[in-house]
Chain A
Amino acid sequence: MVKSLTAIGVAFLLLFGAAMFEWYFVNSQFNAFGEELYTLYQKADDETANGEDAKAVQASWENRKEKLHVWIPHNDISRVDDYMSETVRLIAEKNYGLALSKLEILIHLTKCLPDTYKPALENIF
C-alpha cells in the first residue's frame, strides 16, 4: 500500500511539475513573441519597418519554435511559420498593407493558439 501510494504521489508530482513548467514556458514564449510581433506591427503601420526588422523577428521565432516543438502540436507551429515567411517577404517589398493583415493574423495566433490547449470543456470533448 505504501509503495502504491508513493508511486501515485511521485507520478502525480512529476505530471504536476511538468504541467506547471509547460504552462510557464509556453505562455512566456508566446507572450514574448507576441510583443515582438506587436513592435513590428507598429513599425509596419508607420511604414518604417524594413526587411531586417522582419528577419530579426523571424529568427527569434525560429529560435523559440525549436523548444516549442516539444510542447505543442507541430501543425500549429507550421501555421505561424507560413504567416511569418509571408510577412518577411511583404515587408521587404514594402507592401505594408498586406503585411499588416498578416501580422494581425500572427498576433491573433499567439493569443488563440495557447487557448486551444487550456483544459476547458470545448477542448476536452
Chain B
Amino acid sequence: MNKTINMVLVMIRTAVIFVVLLIIMRLMGKRQIGEMQPFELVITLLIAELACIPMADASIPLLYGIISVVTIYVLHEIMTLLDLKVKPWKSFISGKPSVVINKNGIDDYQLKRNNLDVSDLIESLRSAGYFSLDCVDYALYEANGTFSALPKQDYEQMQNSLPLVIIDNGKYDEKNLELTGLSRTFFDEILRNRKVQNVKRVLVLTADGNGKLYLQVKGKKFETLQVEYPAHKVW
C-alpha cells in the first residue's frame, strides 16, 4: 500500500515555513515587529497567505488551506503556552527588552543589535513626547518593538526648543545645518575644544534653538553644553 498522507506533508511544510519565518523575524530585530511578539507577526503574515492561495487557485483543494490554518492555530497555542510557562524559551522566541538610553547616554551597541540607528531612536522619542535626548534617564525597546522611556523629573522645562540633529553617526546632516544657519566650522571648533579630533568619532550631536548641545562621542558618556551661537542666533 502506498504511503499517502498528504495532510501530514502540508502540516510539516507549514511548520517548516513557520519556524524559518520566526527565525528571520527574530534576526531582523525590533524595527520589523511593531507591537507584536515575533511569532504573532509570523502567524499574521502566514494566515492571510494560507487562506488566500487555495481560495484563489482552483487547482489546490480548499482542504489544504484549512489544514494549514489549523496547524498554525496549534503552533500558536503551543508557542503561547511555552511563552507563558518556560522563561528561557520566552526570551529565545520573543527576545528581551533592549535598553537603548541609560545614564551614560545612547547605547550604540543595543541600537545596532536591533538594526536601528540614532535617527530611529530620536523619532521614537519624539513619538513618545520627548524631544530632547537628555530629557530621559532610560529608554528601551520592548520585546514586541514598542518604545518606553523614563523621563527626568523636570523634563518639560528642558524641552523649550526643538533640537536638530547636526551630526548623526559621524556624518553632518546638511539639511539641518542649513536650517540652523550655522556652519560646519562652528561645530568643528566645539568638537576640537572637547578634544574630539575626528567628526567620525561622534555618535550624535544635537543643537536646540537656545544654544544647548547634546554631544555623545562613540563609547563615551554623553555631555550637554551651553554655547552661544554666532550673531546671537536663535530658532
Q: Which residues of A come within 8 Å of B, CB atoms?
A: 1, 4-5, 7-8, 11-12, 14-15, 18-19, 22-23, 26-27, 30-31, 69-75, 111, 114-115, 117-119, 123-125
Contacts and interface: CB of A to CB of B under 8 A. Distances in A.
Contacts of B67: 15, 18
B81 A8 contact: yes
Which range holds the interface residue count of chain B? 20 to 34
Given A22-B7, A115-B2, 5 more contacts: A14-B70, A27-B4, A72-B61, A117-B5, A118-B9
A11 B74 contact: yes
B127 interface: no
Interface string B49-68: 00000000011110100010
B62 to A, nearest CB: 8
Contacts of A114: 2-4
B115 to A, nearest CB: 29
B3 A15 contact: no
Contact of B63 (A1, A23, A31, A71): A71
B73 interface: yes
A124 B80 contact: no
Contacts of A115: 2-4
Contacts of A5: 81
Interface string B66-88: 01001101100110110011000
Contacts of A11: 70, 73-74, 77
Interface string B8-34: 110111001000000000000000000
Given A71-B63, A118-B3, A119-B5, A15 B70 contact: yes
A69 B61 contact: yes
A4 B7 contact: no
A115 B1 CA distance: 10
Contacts of A125: 16
Nearest to B15: A124
A48 B118 CA distance: 84
Most buried by A among B5, B13, B70: B5
A72 B80 CA distance: 32
Nearest to A111: B2
Contacts of B13: 124
A124 B16 contact: yes
B59 A118 contact: no
Contact of B6 (A7, A71, A124): A71
A88 B84 CA distance: 62
A118 B16 contact: no
Interface string B126-155: 000000000000000000000000000000
Contacts of A73: 59-61
B74 A15 contact: yes
Given A15-B70, A30-B2, A72-B6, A119 B12 contact: yes
A70 B67 CA distance: 12
12 contacts: A1-B85, A5-B81, A8-B74, A8-B77, A11-B70, A23-B3, A26-B4, A30-B4, A31-B1, A73-B60, A115-B2, A125-B16
Contacts of A15: 7, 11, 67, 70-71, 74
A61 B78 CA distance: 42
A118 B58 CA distance: 22
